[in-house]
C-alpha cells in the first residue's frame, strides 16, 4: 500500500545536485537523503506528490560498491553532502555531472577525468560558523540541510584543526559573559557569525566576529581569552541589516592590521575580511595552473581577467603576458589586487572596479581589446552583454573557469554558436565530499 509512512524497497540510480539519492516508485522519482547510486534500500515515504516522492532511508539491503563509512559525527550538518561515497566515486560522479550538462546543451567535447586531491580532508582555509540560541544559550555551528536550524559542531574534518581550540574558547566566552546570539526571526541579539581565514602557506590566521550591534560584548575579556592563540588579526564586523548575507561592510580591526597573507605558486596575496579567495589552496594552484596552461601565453598578449577578485588569476597570468587587465565588482578586492601586484613586483597589471558586463563593453568601445580573455564568473554565469562583447572582440583564446556546470554549459553553447570552438574541458575538485565541481574550458576563435 502506498501511503505516508509505508515502506518500500527501491534501487537508487542517481544523485540530485543536493546529494540526495534518486530512485523510481509508482512511475515517479523518489528522493532519498543519504542514499547512493547502486544502493538497494528500504524507504519510508514522507511526502507524496503527483510528480515526485520523498522518503527516509531505512535498511540498506545491498550497499553501493562505492559506499564507505561516514567520517563525520555531525551527520545533521548540511555541509558535506556525499560523505559516504568513496572519494574516487565522488570524482567519477562529478565527471559524469559535467558531461551530462554538456550533452544537454548539445556539446560533444570530451570531459577529462576530474583532478582530485591526494588527501581530501582539512582542506578549507575559511570557515563561517553561525551563532544561534540552543536550549537557552548561545551556540556555534553549521546549519542543518535545507534549513537555518543550528547543528553545534566541535570540529570538522574538512576544516583546519585550529577550530577545535578556537571554538572551545569562544563557547567559554559566550557562556561566561552571557553574550546574546542572533535571532533571525526577531532581528535581535548580538553575535551573528564567526568567520575564520587561514593562510595555509604562511600559517597566518584571521578571526572575524560579526555582530548585529555596534558594540562587541565583553570585547576586552574575549581578547584576553584568545591572546595565547597567536591569531594574526581579529576583526569586528558590524552587520545590522536583515538577510542571509554573512558579513556587513563595516570592519573594525581589534588586533593586527586586519589582513592576512598567503602564498600560491610563489605569489604572495593579501586577504582582507571581505575579499574573495578560493577556500582550497592546494587545489586553487591546480585550477589556476590549468587556466594558465589553457591560455597558451607567449609573453606578448594583452589579457582580460574578468571577475578577478583579489587578482589571484591575474598575477598567475601577468608573469607570462605583456599586460593583464582585471575587472571586479568589489572595491575592497580591487584594492587588495593592486596591493598584491605591487607586493609581487608585477607592474604590467591594471585593475578596474565595476561590473564586467558594463565595463568590458565600455573599454572595448574605447579601443581596449585583448588577445586572451579569462572569465571566472559567479554561479549565475556570464551576462549576455558580456558574451556579445567577447564575440565582437574575438580574442584568439577564451578560458572559462566555472563553479556551475549548468551555466557553464549554457554559456559554452552560446559561445560555440557564435564564433568560438570548444577545445578542452578539465574539471577540478575544489570541494571534496560535496557535489560542487569547478571546470576550466578552453575556447578558440574561429570567426
The candidate with the shortest Cα–Cα distance to 430, out of 246, 281, 238, is 281
Picking from 345, 349, 343, 347, the residue whose alpha carbon sits closest to that of residue 313 is 349
Q: In three state form, how does the secondary structure of 181-221 look? A: ECECCCCECCEEEEEEEECCCCCCEEEEEEECCCCCCCHHH
Smallest CA-to-CA distance from 103 within 422, 371, 335 is with 422
Catalytic residue status for 308: no
Outline where 181-273 has alpha helix (H): 219-226
Cβ neighbours of 11 (radius 10 Å) = 15
Are the C-beta atoms of 160 and 122 separated by less than 8 Å? yes
Q: How many CB atoms lie within 10 A of CB 72?
A: 17
- Residue with the three cell numbers 536550549: 135
131: left (phi over 0), alpha (psi -120 to 50) or beta: beta
All three cell numbers of 332: 575592497
Q: Which residue has the cell 581579529?
A: 234
* 242 vs 330: CA distance, rounded Å: 21
Q: In angstroms, rounded to a whole number, what is the distance separating the alpha carbons of residues 301 and 372?
A: 7
CA distances from 261 to 200, 201, 230, 403 (A): 9, 9, 15, 24
Strand 267-271 with 260-264, pairing:
antiparallel
Identified catalytic residue from 156, 308, 382, 403: 403
Strand order from edge to edge, sheet including 349-353: 349-353, 323-328, 302-306, 372-375, 397-402, 438-445, 420-428
Is the CB of residue 172 less than 8 Å from the CB of residue 225?
yes
Closest C-alpha to 181, from 156, 209, 147: 209
Q: Look at strands 191-198 and 150-152 and give their pairing.
A: unpaired
Contact by Cβ (8 Å): 360, 327: yes
Catalytic residues: 403
Amino acid at each position: 500500500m502506498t501511503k505516508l509512512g509505508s515502506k518500500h524497497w527501491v534501487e537508487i540510480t542517481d544523485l540530485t545536485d543536493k546529494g540526495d539519492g534518486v530512485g523510481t516508485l509508482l512511475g515517479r522519482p523518489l528522493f532519498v537523503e543519504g542514499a547512493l547510486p547502486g544502493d538497494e534500500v528500504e524507504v519510508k515515504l514522507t511526502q507524496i506528490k503527483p510528480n515526485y516522492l520523498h522518503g527516509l532511508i531505512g535498511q540498506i539491503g545491498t550497499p553501493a560498491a562505492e559506499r564507505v563509512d561516514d567520517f563525520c559525527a555531525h551527520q545533521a550538518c548540511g555541509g558535506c553532502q556525499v560523505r559516504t561515497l568513496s572519494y574516487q566515486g565522488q570524482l567519477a560522479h562529478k565527471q559524469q555531472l559535467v558531461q551530462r550538462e554538456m550533452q544537454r546543451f548539445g556539446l560533444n567535447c570530451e570531459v577529462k577525468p576530474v583532478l582530485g586531491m591526494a588527501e581530501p580532508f582539512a582542506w578549507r582555509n575559511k570557515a563561517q560558523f553561525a551563532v544561534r540560541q540552543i536550549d537557552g544559550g548561545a551556540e556555534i555551528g553549521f546549519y542543518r540541510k535545507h534549513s537555518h536550524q543550528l547543528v553545534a559542531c566541535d570540529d570538522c574534518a574538512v576544516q583546519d584543526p585550529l577550530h577545535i581550540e578556537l571554538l572551545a574558547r569562544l563557547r567559554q566566552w559566550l557562556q561566561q559573559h552571557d553574550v546574546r546570539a542572533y535571532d533571525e526571526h526577531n532581528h535581535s541579539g548580538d553575535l551573528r557569525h564567526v568567520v575564520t581565514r587561514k593562510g595555509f602557506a604562511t600559517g597566518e590566521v584571521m578571526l572575524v566576529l560579526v555582530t548585529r550591534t555596534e558594540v562587541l560584548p565583553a570585547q576586552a575579556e574575549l581578547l584576553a581569552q584568545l591572546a595565547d592563540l597567536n591569531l594574526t588579526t581579529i576583526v569586528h564586523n558590524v552587520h545590522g541589516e536583515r538577510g542571509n548575507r554573512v558579513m556587513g561592510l563595516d570592519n573594525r580591526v581589534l588586533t593586527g592590521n586586519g589582513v592576512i597573507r598567503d602564498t600560491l605558486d610563489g605569489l604572495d596575496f593579501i586577504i582582507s575580511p571581505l575579499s574573495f579567495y578560493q577556500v582550497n589552496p592546494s587545489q586553487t594552484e591546480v585550477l589556476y595552473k590549468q587556466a594558465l596552461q589553457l591560455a597558451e601565453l607567449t609573453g606578448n598578449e594583452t589579457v582580460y581577467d574578468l571577475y578577478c577578485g583579489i587578482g589571484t588569476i591575474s598575477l598567475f597570468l601577468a608573469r607570462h603576458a605583456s599586460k593583464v587587465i582585471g575587472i571586479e565588482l568589489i572595491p575592497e578586492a580591487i584594492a587588495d589586487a593592486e596591493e598584491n601586484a605591487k607586493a609581487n613586483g608585477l607592474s604590467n597589471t591594471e585593475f578596474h572596479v565595476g561590473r564586467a558586463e558594463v565595463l568590458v563593453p565600455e573599454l572595448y568601445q574605447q579601443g581596449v581589446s585583448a588577445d586572451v580573455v579569462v572569465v571566472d564568473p559567479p554561479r549565475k554565469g556570464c551576462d549576455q552583454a558580456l558574451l556579445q562583447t567577447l564575440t565582437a572582440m574575438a580574442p584568439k583564446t577564451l578560458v572559462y573557469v566555472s563553479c556551475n556546470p549548468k551555466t557553464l554549459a549554457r554559456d559554452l553553447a552560446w559561445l560555440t554558436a557564435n564564433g568560438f570552438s570548444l577545445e578542452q574541458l578539465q574539471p577540478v575538485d575544489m570541494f571534496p565530499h560535496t557535489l560542487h565541481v569547478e571546470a576550466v574550458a578552453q575556447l578558440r576563435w574561429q570567426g
